Amino acid sequence: MSPRTARPRHYLMCRPAHFTVDYSINPWMDPAKPTDTDTALAQWDELYALFQRLGHTVELIDPLPGMPDMVFAANGATVVDGRVLGARFRYPERTAEGPAYADWFRDRGWQVRDPEQINEGEGDLLVAGDRILAGTGFRTETAAHAEAQSFLGREVVTLRLVDPRYYHLDTALAVLDDDEIMYHPPAFDAESRAVLERLYPDAVLADADAAKVFGLNAVSDGANVILPEAATGLAEQLRDRGFTPIGVDLTELLRAGGAVKCCTLELRR
């Protein structure tokens, strides 16, 4: 097995200063269950510090009042070769996040396109080498895939999600390296599973136990894979493939249906 090589990454994150669950737009959210903002902040701070210890650059966008899900920076845009495809959210509770993230990029000189179709950023548009794996079924419209392909200049592969618990692609699939992924097959329809089997015959397959603790909502730098610490079986599979899994505790953010990848938007120059 050839050694894995970590490549320095550039991320955008948002502190969960206003984190709470006061509405429900996915099966994980229950406003009747109390949340603890201080715990969310402490867990997020550990992830932020970990990325920096691993040698990655992390920039921050200011959290805005009234946007409790803004912590999930991955949903804010898709960034490829210096071009930023902004996000357009399905639910009104998150609509204001799209312009907030777009303004951050514009203020720093990035080339930004305001989307015409509903897309929820890297929640559903995952860059894998020269292609973009694109989810649909619950949030991002299929029409947004063509828009992404045209603007970002990468082949887009459509994948349909069928389990509402895994409402974004990044809850059911993670990119490990340019040509390697891990995913939970039951989260996809039969046609999409066939596509994934053809493109990635040696993919890491995650079972239900790994999926339900959001083990696939992970971030890889090509060698280190940061994932929820409860996904112990998945971590063993990754270790067997030569990766270094690093478990983190983001259980408070999981109350809103997010974990490592949801908190992390990659900035690709």
Task: Give the active site residues.
Answer: 168, 262
CA–CA separation, 202 vs 131, rounded Å? 17
Instruction: Provide the 3-class DSSP secondary structure of residue 100.
Output: helix
Distance CA 241, CA 146 (A): 34
**CA 184 to CA 173: how far, in whole Å?**
7
| Cα-Cα end-to-end distance for the chain | 30
Structure tokens at 66: 């009234």
Which residue type is seen at 91? Y
Instruction: Confirm if 213 and 227 have CB atoms less than 8 A apart.
Output: no
